[in-house]
């Protein structure tokens, strides 16, 4: 680390196999990144591996805990020896007392007892991609032969649970599950035992020319995926609708707030609470004022501005070619990338009542126009507005509890006091056109 570079917190999503994966999920934007490296073997070599771990640990030597993250593609395709070497490198380069938390994002289809034993032994946090009950999951998450993957994923999760590995669910919200928020959530909680849930909306943005190919699953099983870029203002049929996204989140919130506060962590709710507490940069990058602190590291050491911008214009440099990770993250190019998120906000967003919680969403999805015709509004704006407005009162209740040093679970009592006044035929609190007694007033059922 050079003394001219300020210490800063940043997160690296490393991709040891690049875009290579054993599955062929139809909405996956990352598979096409293979096109960036023709002829590559797509395996992080020892030099890049060592540069990644040593530079990351050196850059955050002042931090109590450092997160080392592996993502893909499918990182378990690297084999266990790669991860055993990761542990050796961390032991070699960590400062005295420095805690290293390893995380891996996986489709879980290759997880067996040997993997789970290793993850448990080294306290890995394992993120598993699963989109809900069988039909919803299998709608788009298929293997190279187009076959469903649900059973293999659930077997992988069961193996992790048997070995008591800490894991979380990463669930996309897409056209196949968008109308089933509560069902998806209760499935994750009750059938899989998930206690940490990340929800990611699928917004497949494409140009009109690419739409036919995109609609056919990118020709995924014919090897025809062109390099995916954040261009165009069309979306595929797999993309979640804006209103449906808001409804999905409200459905889950209504279930969570009544019984799961403090027991199940839903990343977006935690982020929202932080904003209601006045913490502008906490939680998910998409709702922070500025971004740029979450970079993507390709298998060959190339560093990009963000996982969603692995495109030639967003290449910051290579960590084995003179500049360190910290220098590249702290570069004028990357600072401008992060600042642009704030500077490019539409005037509609600037005067929005929930801007403090939303901050205009991720720039990659800002491709619709505001009601008065200004381009650059987020595709999910209508959903963000309805969700953030819906949770305003309960978030104020929770923030008040925390400010007074009380437990946030007090929100459950607040709901209980309100619910007792509802009759079965009253409109449901979720705002859906359904009676309370057969909607959120009824016990949740899983698929």
Stretch that binds ligand SF4, among 164-172, 356-364, 397-405, 412-420 (CB under 6 A): 356-364
Rounded Cα distance, 300 and 298, in Å: 6
Report, in Å, the least distance between residue 144 CB and ligand SF4: 27
Taking CB under 6 A as the criterion, the residue among 185, 348, 379, 436 binding ligand SF4 is 348
Q: Is 363 in the site for ligand SF4 (CB under 6 A)?
A: yes
Rounded Cα distance, 140 and 131, in Å: 9
Phi/psi at 100 (nearest 5 deg)?
A: -120, 125
Taking CB under 6 A as the criterion, the residue among 384, 394, 395, 415 binding ligand SF4 is 384
Nearest to 231 by CA among 134, 308, 116, 317: 308
Taking CB under 6 A as the criterion, the residue among 341, 394, 411, 441 binding ligand SF4 is 341
Stretch that binds ligand SF4, among 36-44, 137-145, 352-360, 415-423 (CB under 6 A): 352-360
Which helix (H) or strand (E) segment holds residue 151: the answer is helix 150-162
Q: Is 328 in the site for ligand SF4 (CB under 6 A)?
A: no
Q: Among residues 189 and 378, whose Cβ is nearest to ligand SF4?
A: 378
Q: Is 381 in the site for ligand SF4 (CB under 6 A)?
A: yes
Q: How many CA atoms lie within 13 A of 220 on its CB side?
A: 27
Catalytic residue check, 340: no
Q: Is 358 in the site for ligand SF4 (CB under 6 A)?
A: yes
User: Are the C-beta atoms of residues 64 and 29 closer than 8 Å to each other?
Assistant: no
Q: Is 42 in the site for ligand SF4 (CB under 6 A)?
A: no
Taking CB under 6 A as the criterion, the residue among 13, 19, 59, 349 binding ligand SF4 is 349
Q: Among residues 21 and 296, whose Cβ is nearest to ligand SF4?
A: 296
Rounded Cα distance, 385 and 381, in Å: 6
Q: What three-state secondary structure class fits 368?
A: strand
What is the DSSP code (8-state) at residue 123?
T
For β-strands 205-206 and 125-129, DSSP reports them as: unpaired
Q: Is 308 in the site for ligand SF4 (CB under 6 A)?
A: yes
Q: Among residues 257 and 381, whose Cβ is nearest to ligand SF4?
A: 381
Report, in Å, the least distance between residue 9 CB and ligand SF4: 13
Taking CB under 6 A as the criterion, the residue among 108, 136, 264, 306 binding ligand SF4 is 306
Q: How many CA atoms lie within 13 A of 401 on its CB side?
A: 17
For β-strands 205-206 and 234-235, DSSP reports them as: antiparallel
Phi/psi at 304 (nearest 5 deg)?
A: -115, 160
Report, in Å, the least distance between residue 230 CB and ligand SF4: 9
- Among 24, 251, 260, 307, the active-site one is 307
Rounded Cα distance, 167 and 12, in Å: 19
Structure tokens at 47: 């030099």
Give, as ranges, the residues between 133 and 192 that touch ligand SF4 (CB under 6 A).
Answer: none
Positions marked catalytic: 307
- Interface positions with ligand SF4 (CB under 6 A): 285-286, 291, 294, 306, 308, 341, 348-349, 352, 354-355, 358, 360-364, 377-378, 381, 384-385
């Amino acid at each position: 680390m050079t003394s001219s570079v300020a210490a800063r917190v940043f997160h690296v999503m490393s991709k040891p196999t690049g875009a290579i994966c054993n599955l062929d999920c139809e909405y996956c934007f990352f598979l096409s990144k293979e096109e960036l490296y023709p002829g590559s073997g797509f395996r992080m070599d020892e030099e890049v591996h060592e540069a990644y771990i040593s530079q990351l640990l050196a850059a955050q030597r002042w931090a109590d805990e450092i997160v080392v993250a592996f993502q893909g593609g499918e990182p378990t395709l690297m084999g266990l020896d790669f991860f055993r070497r990761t542990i050796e490198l961390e032991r070699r380069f960590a400062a005295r007392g420095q805690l290293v938390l390893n995380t891996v994002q996986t489709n879980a289809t290759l997880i067996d007892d040997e993997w789970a034993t290793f993850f448990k032994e080294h306290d890995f946090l394992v993120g598993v991609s699963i989109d809900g009950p069988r039909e919803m999951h299998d709608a788009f998450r298929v293997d190279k032969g187009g076959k469903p993957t649900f059973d293999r994923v659930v077997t992988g999760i069961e193996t992790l649970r048997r070995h008591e590995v800490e894991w979380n669910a990463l669930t996309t919200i897409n056209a196949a599950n968008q109308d089933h928020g509560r069902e998806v959530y209760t499935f994750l909680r009750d059938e899989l035992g998930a206690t940490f849930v990340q929800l990611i909306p699928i917004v497949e943005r494409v140009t009109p020319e690419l739409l036919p190919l995109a609609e056919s699953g990118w020709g995924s099983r014919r090897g025809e995926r062109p390099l995916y870029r954040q261009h165009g203002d069309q979306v595929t049929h797999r993309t979640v609708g804006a209103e449906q996204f808001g409804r999905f989140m409200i459905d889950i919130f209504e279930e969570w707030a009544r019984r799961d506060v403090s027991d199940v962590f839903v990343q977006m709710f935690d982020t929202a609470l932080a904003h209601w507490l006045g913490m502008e940069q906490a939680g998910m990058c998409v709702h922070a004022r500025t971004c740029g602190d979450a970079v993507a590291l390709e298998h060959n050491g190339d560093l990009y501005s963000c996982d969603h911008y692995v495109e030639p214009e967003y290449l910051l440099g290579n960590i084995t070619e003179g500049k360190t990770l910290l220098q590249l993250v702290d570069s004028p190019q990357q600072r401008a990338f992060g600042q642009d998120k704030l500077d490019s906000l539409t005037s509609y967003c600037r005067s929005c009542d929930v801007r403090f919680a939303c901050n205009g969403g991720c720039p990659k999805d800002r491709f619709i126009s505001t009601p008065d015709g200004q381009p650059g509004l987020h595709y999910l704006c209508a959903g963000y507005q309805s969700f953030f407005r819906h949770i305003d009162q309960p978030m104020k209740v929770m923030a008040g509890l925390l400010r007074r040093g009380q437990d946030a679970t007090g929100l459950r009592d607040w709901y209980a006091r309100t619910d007792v006044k509802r009759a079965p035929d009253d409109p449901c609190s979720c705002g859906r056109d359904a009676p309370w007694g057969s909607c959120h007033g009824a016990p949740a059922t899983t698929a």
